Amino acid sequence: MKALFFFLVISFVLWPVSKALAAKQIIVVTNMEKPPPMKKHEIRNLFMGGASNVFEPVVLKPGEEARHVFNTLVVGLTEARIQSYWAQMRFSGRHRAPVEVESTEQMLQYLLEHKGAVGYLPADVTIPEQLTVLFSSRQQG
């Protein structure tokens, strides 16, 4: 009975948060003309330090809403967990954290100037024709 009560309380608390996130959408874009197709788990791996000879991940600074949505919908971790992970990776020398930019405008500029760069943006941002969408959170797959 306690477990059921706990589940109901947690569901009641988290439901508005998940509903709000569901209303927000992100897209993952690159400046490559014909990039290889990528699934959600491949994008997650890329942004969490998975080796790639083709792509360079770029992230928004902590606190940006699109970063929160991306981390929640694609990576599946909180900001604190991601920061902890990168601290461990830097300490051990195993992986380098993605390039970090300050704003959506800087993200677009960086993506346009660096071939192979991959970044995420709010889905309502107008994407220049030089960029290709790799993933949309609407796809969820």
Q: What is the pLDDT of residues 68-80, one digit of tens each?
A: 999 999 999 999 9
Q: Judge whether 92 lies within some domain.
A: yes
For the chain, report the end-to-end CA distance as a whole number of angstroms: 35
Q: Judge whether 73 lies within some domain.
A: yes
Q: Judge whether 127 lies within some domain.
A: yes
Higher pLDDT, 106 or 10: 106
14-68 pLDDT, tens digit per residue, is 544 444 444 589 999 999 888 888 899 999 999 998 877 789 999 999 999 999 9
Q: Judge whether 39 lies within some domain.
A: yes
Is the pLDDT reported for residue 97 higher than 60? yes
User: The domain containing residue 122 runs over which residues?
Assistant: 26-136
Model confidence, pTM: 0.79
Which residue spans within the chain are E strands per DSSP? 26-30, 56-60, 99-101, 117-122, 132-136
